[in-house]
Amino acid sequence: MDKEPETYEELIRKKRCIDLTKYYNLTKEELDKVYEFLKNNKDGQIKGNNQGIALINGKENSVINCKCISSAIDGLLLSNTILKIIPHYTPSNGGSSFGGSSSNNNNNNNNNNNNNNR
């Protein structure tokens, strides 16, 4: 990755590899390996999770064990055509109580209306 990009495709590939360093702690050698992988495998994909990144090309796969340095993501998908970040998902746990109280209020209102009509 040391040489200057000569084509738009090389520029985008280099930018995506640099973007990868925002999320994963990679050495220069590992980053060069990712760049060369994408350069040599037009349909190759990089899939990342919290433990590292996998270089996938359908024939042989390899894994780079590297630490995810961003708690804002659960992973990513990188190729020559896309960079998709999978944001960290935190489930909420308070949703069920709202429905019950709303139903109770409606039932009380209905009961009050029925009593007033007698």
Higher pLDDT: 72 or 116? It is 72
Cβ proximity of 23 and 70 under 8 Å = yes
* Least trusted range by pLDDT, from 8-12, 29-33, 58-62, 83-87: 58-62
The pLDDT assigned to 109 comes to 54
Sign of the C-alpha dihedral computed for residues 67, 64, 40 and 31 taken in this order: positive
β-bridge mates for residue 38, sequence order: none
Average pLDDT over residues 32-43: 94
**105-to-61, 95, 102, 115, 118 alpha-carbon distances in Å:** 58, 17, 5, 15, 21
**Cβ atoms < 10 Å from Cβ of 16:** 19
Cα separation, 96 vs 106, in Å, equals 16
Mean of the per-residue pLDDT values for the chain? 84
In three-state secondary structure terms, 39 is: helix
Cα separation, 43 vs 83, in Å, equals 13
Q: What are phi and psi of 87, to 5 degrees?
A: -65, 155
Give the DSSP letter of residue 16. Answer: H
Residue 91 confidence class, pLDDT cut points 50, 70, 90: confident
Tokens of residue 35, six digits: 């760049």
Question: In 3D, which of 12, 1, 11, 4 has the Cα closest to residue 81?
Answer: 12
Residue 44 confidence class, pLDDT cut points 50, 70, 90: very high
Look at residue 37 and tell me whether its pLDDT is greater than 90: yes
